[in-house]
Amino acid sequence: MATKAILHPLVSPEASAPPGWPQKLAAMAEEYVLPGASAFSAADTVAGGQDLLLEGPVRLKPVYGKGGHGQMVVTDIQALPNTVSQLSAVNAPENGFVIEANLSDVDTYTVGQSRLPRCTVSYCGTQFLTEDNTGGPAYGGSELTAVLGGYDNLPADILPEEMLQAVRYAAGFDDLVDEYLPGLIASRRNYDVACGRAHDGALRMGIIDQSRRVGGATGAELVAAEVLVKDPDARAVRARSAEIYGDEQSVPEGALICFQGDDPEVGPLLKCAFVEETIAR
């Protein structure tokens, strides 16, 4: 329930799935996501990939993957079984894979809410990439605009229309989650919304990930919430989270350090967050 798997329907009605799989949610969410499917076996992943490859390149994603790590793009149907085997060697297929249309020239927006004991903070912003310690692409942080209250309080007069559309996608999917996952308690709801070019050149937008856990943008959410709660004149706050790889790490002045050290999976890493601007009422 807390992974990107619930964004897409199963490959087929006969495909394997965990007990209690929310089939109605995935079916109703198609207008908010990219073309794709969720699979919980290697065979179903191959079958779903073959269907989607008829429309263009596909991206395969382990549902527990974070920060873009472990994803693979397939352009040739003949290479698909081998790619699925490579992914299955390090990710148990029964945990789930997402098969999704691959976009190019992508802008990724971050939209979400932190529902705290005495307030709700809503935010939207953009993600940016960096190079990890192997030289590969990885999540590098998010720049957020945050407000107290619901999504309607986000300042439409200063935000670009494409970002506001991403907010509408996230809010629409979140409403479906509340409807089709009754009893779900999630104090943090975060959605990544991609906008880019499909294989046919058309511009497409869709949610590509959803998270209920502490994530890459959480530090920015927290430092923004602190300012919003303490400053009654603050209409909105722009805050930034950053993930910096390598041994030479410069901490921005006044930043909240979330992690600094040698991560056992990715090596030397600094995670921090800081406020960039307070927007007065």
At residue 14, does pLDDT exceed 80? yes
- CA–CA distance, 235 with 279 (Å, rounded to integer): 6
Domain 105-280, CATH class in plain words: alpha beta
Percentage of the chain with pLDDT > 70?
A: 100
Domain ranges of the chain: 4-102, 105-280
Average pLDDT over residues 17-35: 92
Q: What pLDDT, on the 0 to 100 scale, is given for residue 130?
A: 93
Residues 6+ away with beta carbon under 8 Å from 128: 140, 141, 142, 143
Strand, coil or helix: what is 149?
A: coil
Residue 213 pLDDT grade (very low, low, confident, very high; cuts 50, 70, 90): confident
- CA–CA distance, 120 with 111 (Å, rounded to integer): 14
What's the token pair of residue 269?
């890493």
For 28-77, the pLDDT digits (tens) are 999 999 999 999 999 999 999 999 999 999 999 999 887 677 899 999 99
pTM as predicted: 0.91
* Assigned superfamily of 4-102: ATP-grasp fold, A domain (3.30.1490.20)
Residue 10 pLDDT grade (very low, low, confident, very high; cuts 50, 70, 90): very high
Average pLDDT over residues 222-233: 95
Q: What angle do CA 227, 209, 16 make, to 5 degrees?
A: 145
